[in-house]
Amino acid sequence: MRVGKPWTTTRWRGRARLALALLGGVAGGSGCTAPVGDEGSREVQERSLAAEATLRPPRAVDGLLSLLDQTASVVEGDVIDLRSESSPRTGPWTVVTLGNVRAHLGEAPRELRLKQAGGLLPDGRQLVVSHVPRFVLGARYVVFLRNTGWSLSPVLDGHAFRVESVGGREVLVGPEGGLVAGLGTAGVRWTAPVFETVELQGGRPALRAGVDVAGLPEALAPEAFVALLQNHLRARGLSVTGAFREEPVATASSLSVPVTPASLQAPTMGIVPSQPERDVPPGQP
C-alpha cells in the first residue's frame, strides 16, 4: 500500500474523553510496581491544597489558542525510566522520567518526572486510561506540559510526540501513529497512521505493514515543528506562561473514573469495558 499525501487531517477533541480498562495477567512491562503508602502529613496536604487554589482548572483543547493558553512549556527529552507506583487510595500511576531535557518554550529542569494515571497493579493486572499517552523507554519525545491543575496526566491533551528516523530524516509521531504534518488555527495536523500504536508493554512501534517509506507524506522534524510553533506565537503576540505542576491534585485518584460495562456482551481477553470519563476539575475526583 502506498501512503499518499492527500490525507492530512486535523486532530482535536472537545471535552476530554477518557476511559479505563483492566487487563489481567500482564507479564513483564516497563519498570516495576513499587507500593506507595498513603503517606503525607497534614502540613504537606495543607500546602498542596493551598497551591491548588491558585491553579486554573483544565479546559477542552479545541484549537491552537486553547492549546497555547494551557501550555506551561514545550520540552524535548529522552525517556530514561518507566515505572509503576500503586497505593490503595490513589490506585496505580506510571511515572515517566525524561532526561537530557531541553525546553523549547517556557522553562524546565534537565530531568522531569511525568506522573500519569494507570499502570501495573500489585496483582499483576494493568489499569489503562485512554488518551493518556504511552511512552517508549529509550525514545525521545517533544511534550507539551500543562500550566493548569490536572488529575490524570500533566501532558496537555495527549500532546507527546515521539521522534523517529524514517528514510534518513527525523519526524514526529503522534499517539495514533500519524506523522505531525503542520500546525494551524485548529491545532496540530496529522497524517493518517503510519506507525503502529505503542503497545501496553511499551515496546517501540514499527511502521505499519505496506507503508512505502519513499512515499511518506511530508512531515515535520522536531526543529521545524518548534519553529512553526514559535512563529504562531509571535504572529499573535503570545507566549507560553505559568508553571508545570509535577504532582496531581491532592484528592486525585486513578480509580476515580467510572467503569461500567459498555454493552451486554461479555468482556473478552480480560478487558473490562468502560464508559468515557468526564473532565476532572482540580479537587473533584
For residue range 20-36, what is the model confidence (pLDDT) as tens digits?
A: 556 655 444 444 444 44
pLDDT given at position 22:
61
Could you give the CA distance from residue 136 to residue 30 in angstroms, rounded to a whole number? 9
For residue 260, what is its C-alpha cell?
A: 461500567
pLDDT band (50, 70, 90) for residue 234: very high
Contact 161, 173 (CB under 8 A): yes
pLDDT at 267: 35
Lowest mean pLDDT across 46-50, 96-100, 123-127, 175-179: 46-50
Question: 113: pLDDT confidence band, cut at 50, 70 and 90?
Answer: very high
Work out the pLDDT band at 212, boundaries 50, 70, 90: confident
Per-residue confidence (pLDDT) for residue 97, from 0 to 100:
98
Higher per-residue confidence, 209 vs 250: 209
Residues 193-199, mean pLDDT to the nearest whole number: 92
Q: Report yes or no on whether pTM surpasses 0.85.
A: no
Q: How far apart are CA 277 and CA 186, in angstroms?
A: 24
Q: List, for residues 51-72, the tens digit of each pLDDT value.
A: 555 678 899 999 999 999 999 9
For the chain, what are the domain ranges? 8-236
Mean of pLDDT values over 40-50:
48
The pLDDT of residue 270 is 33
| Structure confidence at residue 282 (pLDDT) | 38
Q: How does the average pLDDT of the chain come out, rounded?
A: 77
Who has greater pLDDT, 157 or 17? 157
Which residue from 242, 224, 274, 252 is spatially nearest to 72, judged by alpha carbons? 242
Q: What is the pLDDT of residue 243?
A: 92
**170: which strand partners?**
165
